[in-house]
Each structure stands twice: as structure tokens, then as C-alpha cells.
């Protein structure tokens, strides 16, 4: 596990964004952990989160020209990540979409830089993949090229079939999905903390039952 992945898991636990217990997922499964990126809701935590996104992007080596944040959660993530990348010496344009196309003022379906070149989509998680599909369609309609999706945590959990939501996106759109951290990174974090042994056993059991194979 690279340091920024470990640091991100620790950060999410300390911020109580990543919690342990018993939580029901949309699929009706009882999960031993819950990740709510919406709880990164102040300036300091958003700044740190954006820096983790920037680290994951740079470590991935994916060539990109700009960032796109799907409304609504992706908007602050794309803006924050653009700032974090600028702090790393890479000034990157970004834009985001409106839920409804504006027919007055500047008009259009997006706000910010014009969609062009290789566009990296920034979101919190991938569940059904609806946000990614809508983003890909919007980017391609503008004549630009979606080149990847960056998310905070990959649960590595099967959907309706044998693939995870992230794997389905990679298959359906032929673009990579880059998480800051994965469920396997969470397991690695828990293994190093004796006081979390009970959580480790529960998360590992869940991984064994619902998890997908590593790519």
C-alpha cells in the first residue's frame, strides 16, 4: 500500500467519514463499514481530500487536459482537485455541469472551462454508474474525450453480476477508474491495528462474500 492510500484511510476514519458497525446498502446487504464523502464538509477536510485526489491522479500516470465534476458532489471535488494540482505545479482547467440547461445569461449545460481534449471525471464513489454515463455522454457530445474516472473509495463489491461498479464502468466505457483507496487498502489498514481486530474480521468476511477479484 502506497503511503497516500494508507494516509487517506486513516484520515477518513479520523474524520468519521469511514465508520464501522452495521449498515444496509442500496443492494440490501448488511455492510460492516460505511463511507460518506459528504462528511468532508469544512475547509480543512476538503483541502486534504482534494490533495489526496491530486496524489492519486498524478500517481496513476493518466494523461489528461482538464477535470470535470458531475453535479452535485463532483463540483467541489473538481474545483478542490484543480487547486491541489495547481499547488503541485500543474495548473488544470475544470468545469462542471448544470442539472438543467440554462437558457439565459451565458447559457449552456456546463460552467467553467470549455470541454476539450482529454477529460478526467472527478466523483466521490461509483454506485450504479449513472453519473459516469451522463458525464461521458456530455463530454463526448462536446467533442472531447473522457479519459478516466477518479473516485475516493472503491468498495470492490459485486453489483448485479460478477463485476463491481468500477469494473463495469471500465468495461462499458473503456476508461480506467482510479480510486484514492480500495477495500483491500482498508483491510491492510485494519490489519495493522490490533484495537480494530473485530472490524477486520467483519470487513474481511464481507469481502469474501461479496467482493470481486482484483483486476
Catalytic residues: 102, 104
- What is the 3-state secondary structure of 78-96? HHHHHHHHHHCCCCCCEEE
Among residues 117, 118, 135, 139, the alpha carbon closest in space to that of 126 is found at 135
Dist CA 181 CA 186 (whole Å): 8
> From edge to edge, which strands make up the β-sheet containing 94-102?
108-112, 94-102, 66-69, 118-122, 145-154, 177-182
Helices (H), the chain: 3-14, 43-60, 74-87, 130-141, 165-173, 183-191, 197-210
User: What does the block give as the cell for 54?
Assistant: 491530486
CA distances from 107 to 9, 43, 104, 112 (A): 40, 30, 5, 12
Among residues 38, 53, 182, 52, the alpha carbon closest in space to that of 120 is found at 53
User: What does the block give as the cell for 57?
Assistant: 491522479
Amino acid at each position: 500500500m502506497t503511503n497516500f492510500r494508507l494516509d487517506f484511510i486513516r484520515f477518513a476514519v479520523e474524520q468519521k467519514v469511514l465508520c464501522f458497525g452495521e449498515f444496509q446498502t442500496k443492494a440490501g446487504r448488511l455492510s460492516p463499514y460505511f463511507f460518506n464523502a459528504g462528511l468532508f464538509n469544512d475547509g480543512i477536510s476538503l483541502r486534504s481530500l482534494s490533495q489526496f485526489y491530486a496524489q492519486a491522479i498524478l500517481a496513476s500516470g493518466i494523461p489528461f487536459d482538464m477535470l470535470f465534476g458531475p453535479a452535485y458532489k463532483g463540483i467541489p471535488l473538481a474545483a478542490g482537485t484543480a487547486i491541489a494540482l495547481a499547488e503541485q505545479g500543474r495548473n488544470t482547467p475544470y468545469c462542471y455541469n448544470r442539472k438543467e440547461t440554462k437558457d439565459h445569461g451565458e447559457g449552456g449545460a456546463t460552467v467553467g472551462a470549455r470541454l476539450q481534449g482529454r477529460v478526467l471525471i472527478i466523483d466521490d464513489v461509483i454506485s450504479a454508474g449513472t453519473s459516469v454515463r451522463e458525464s461521458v455522454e456530455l463530454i463526448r457530445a462536446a467533442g472531447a474525450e473522457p479519459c478516466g474516472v477518479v473516485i475516493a473509495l472503491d468498495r470492490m463489491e459485486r453489483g448485479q453480476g460478477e463485476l463491481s461498479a468500477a469494473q463495469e464502468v471500465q468495461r462499458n466505457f473503456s476508461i480506467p477508474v482510479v480510486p484514492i483507496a480500495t477495500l483491500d487498502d482498508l483491510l491492510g489498514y485494519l490489519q495493522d491495528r490490533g484495537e480494530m481486530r473485530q472490524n477486520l474480521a467483519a470487513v474481511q468476511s464481507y469481502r469474501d462474500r461479496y467482493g470481486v477479484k482484483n483486476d
